[in-house]
Amino acid sequence: MSLATVRRAARERALGLLYEAESKAATGAEVLAALPVPADEYATALVQAVDEHREVIDGLLERFAQGWTVSRMPALDRAALRMGSAELIARPDVPTGVVLAETVELASRFSTDASGRFVNGLLARIAEEVRGGPVDVDASIPELEPEAPPLAPQVDGLIIDLDGVIRHWDPAYGPEVDARLGIPAGTLTAVALEHDRLARVVDGRLPFEGWCEEIGAEIAARHGVDASAAADAWATSTWQIDLAVVDLVEAVREVVPVALLSNASTHLLIDLELCGISGSFDAVVSSADIRAAKPAEAAFQTAADRLGVRLDRVLFVDDTSSNVEAARALGMRAELFTDVEELRAQLVELQLLHP
């Protein structure tokens, strides 16, 4: 077996170990130590090099990743970039073109469709920094897109909804809890989202903790289950974040400011921190904090004021038609969210994104 083949397998193994370390919030050394069978020498060396040079590597990634932070990169792209950077730093005997080609190939194979181009462009800049001089990149590596012409945005700001657009609640969670507590199907969600109760939540009259307590007390009274268990079940509800939408938001922020406007509980900022997207907006407006919920004019006006733009110069995106219609009545450009590709097309049309 050739050296190139051996090292190709070692890089793939190292990437898997680094990804595992990240998912476990562990160091590479900790993952290596837990292996029942030691990794091969080169894979081990790459993982150890990432640990050793992690601070320098992340500093380079932050510096060269325009519009991105290290924490917002897809996890596998981040692992590949750290591994490739470590190899560039710690293994000067390996040609730069080989490091880039192998790292890009792994990112393309295991991550997103756009990962190869993203990793290539960023790693090439890092290679120039740590090895000096222009990088002689193998022709098989996709080149960076030529610089696009400047955009001419048709609005001065974007206001976007959270639930149903960026955050999607786990549809299996409620039924699982109902079954676990031994209560009729649909009970947890129905009690939590009861109209008057939800209205008090989103206008701030009922704090998040009180919401959970009310839910637990009502379910306990109806069905004889433990109130704290029912309350905790709602407090720990699960969801998914559509990172494709977040990526669009962060791209738009390079052109105009973006506000998140959500009919939410007093727990919104904590939820955003838990999701890792609290820094993805120029302003965050929670209905519970301002005591005004969409479709009230005050909610829209507060978000626009936080961005420093007029209502008639804002694009508003929401998945609820009544909110969209109310925004249009106020003179805002408003679009109903259906899916990420339709949103992308709308943003391109308004010169907030390049095609």
The predicted model gives 140-155 an average pLDDT of 64
Question: Tell me, what's the pLDDT at 135?
Answer: 52
- Residue 11: phi and psi, rounded to 5, are -65, -40
Confidence of residue 140 (pLDDT cuts 50, 70, 90): very low
pLDDT digits (tens, 9 = 90+) for 284-309: 999 999 999 999 999 999 999 999 99
Question: Tell me, what's the pLDDT at 274?
Answer: 82
Is the Cβ–Cβ distance between 10 and 46 less than 8 Å?
A: yes
Is the Cβ–Cβ distance between 309 and 156 less than 8 Å?
A: yes
Q: Is 128 strand, coil or helix? A: helix
274 vs 239: CA distance, rounded Å: 11
For residue 52, the one-letter residue type is E
Give me the half-sphere count of Cα atoms (radius 13 Å) on the Cβ side of residue 211: 29
Which H, E and C letters describe 135-179, residue by residue? CCCCCCCCCCCCCCCCCCCCCCEEEECCECCCEEECCCHHHHHHH
Is the Cβ–Cβ distance between 83 and 51 less than 8 Å?
A: no
pLDDT digits (tens, 9 = 90+) for 160-178: 999 999 999 989 999 999 9
Confidence of residue 143 (pLDDT cuts 50, 70, 90): very low
Question: Tell me, what's the pLDDT at 112?
Answer: 78
159, 254, 305, 307, 311 from 328: Cα distances, Å? 13, 25, 17, 18, 10
Question: Tell me, what's the pLDDT at 50?
Answer: 94
pLDDT digits (tens, 9 = 90+) for 81-129: 999 999 999 999 888 888 999 999 998 888 877 788 888 888 888 988 8
The predicted model gives 140-153 an average pLDDT of 59
* Architecture (CATH level 2) of domain 3-131: Orthogonal Bundle (1.10)
Return the bridge partners of 240, or none. Answer: 168
Question: Tell me, what's the pLDDT at 218?
Answer: 96
328 or 109, greater pLDDT: 328
pLDDT digits (tens, 9 = 90+) for 222-243: 999 999 999 999 999 988 889 8
For residue 123, the one-letter residue type is L
Whether the pLDDT of residue 220 is over 70: the answer is: yes
Whether the pLDDT of residue 141 is over 60: the answer is: no
Q: Which token pair is 341?
A: 């590709």
Question: Tell me, what's the pLDDT at 197?
Answer: 97
Question: Tell me, what's the pLDDT at 142?
Answer: 39
246 or 73, greater pLDDT: 246
321 vs 179: CA distance, rounded Å: 33
Question: Tell me, what's the pLDDT at 18?
Answer: 92
The predicted model gives 117-146 an average pLDDT of 66
User: Residue 225 has what DSSP assignment?
Assistant: -
Window from 65-74, 259-268, 313-322 with minimum mean pLDDT:
65-74
Question: Tell me, what's the pLDDT at 137?
Answer: 45
Return mean pLDDT, the chain. Answer: 90
Same fold flag, 3-131 and 157-167+240-349: no
Annotation: CATH topology of 157-167+240-349:
Rossmann fold (3.40.50)
Residues in the chain: 355
Q: Which of 256, 191, 194 is nearest to 225 (CA)?
A: 191
53, 62, 103, 150, 234 from 87: Cα distances, Å? 10, 18, 10, 36, 46
Is the Cβ–Cβ distance between 309 and 157 less than 8 Å?
A: yes
20 or 275, greater pLDDT: 20
Question: Tell me, what's the pLDDT at 28?
Answer: 92
Confidence of residue 5 (pLDDT cuts 50, 70, 90): confident
Is the Cβ–Cβ distance between 245 and 221 less than 8 Å?
A: no
Confidence of residue 323 (pLDDT cuts 50, 70, 90): very high
Q: Report whether the peptide linkage leading into residue 150 is cis, meaning its omega lies within 30 degrees of zero.
A: no
Whether the pLDDT of residue 146 is over 80: the answer is: no
Question: Tell me, what's the pLDDT at 67?
Answer: 62
Nearest-10 Cα torsion for 100, 106, 111, 113: 70
Within the chain, where are the H helices? Answer: 3-23, 28-33, 41-64, 75-90, 96-110, 115-131, 173-181, 187-192, 195-202, 208-223, 227-235, 243-252, 268-275, 287-290, 297-307, 321-329, 340-349
Whether the pLDDT of residue 276 is over 70: the answer is: yes
Q: What percent of the chain has pLDDT over 90?
A: 65
Listed by start position, the domains of the chain span 3-131, 157-167+240-349, 172-237
